[in-house]
Amino acid sequence: MVTGHTHRPAVLEMGGVRILNPGSPTNPRGSMPSVAVAEFGDTLEVELVRV
């Protein structure tokens, strides 16, 4: 699941569901500016990248 609005980057897993919040590249709250890179294939690879 991809979510946003909080502007706080996070990658969590709850109940077998991976939750991704990419943060914000322009208006971060409580962290450095960030974006997320997700690679979909046989597995899901997610990386938070500071910009």
Q: Pick left, alpha or beta for residue 22 (phi over 0 → left; psi -120 to 50 → alpha; otherwise beta).
A: alpha
Residue 45 CB contacts under 8 Å (≥ 6 apart), including other chains: 38, 39
pLDDT of residue 4: 87
Domain span including residue 41: 10-50
Q: What is the pLDDT of residue 34?
A: 95
Asked if residue 16 is part of any domain, the answer here is yes
Q: Is residue 1 part of a domain?
A: no
Task: Judge whether 42 lies within some domain.
Answer: yes
Distance (Å, whole) CA 4 – CA 2:
7
In a domain, 26, yes or no: yes
- pLDDT the model gives residue 23: 93
pLDDT tens-digit map of 1-51: 899 889 999 999 999 999 999 999 999 988 899 999 999 999 989 999 999
Number of domains in the chain: 1
Examine residue 2 and state whether it is found in any structural domain, yes or no: no
Q: Is residue 3 part of a domain?
A: no
Q: Which pair of structure tokens corresponds to residue 4?
A: 């946003």
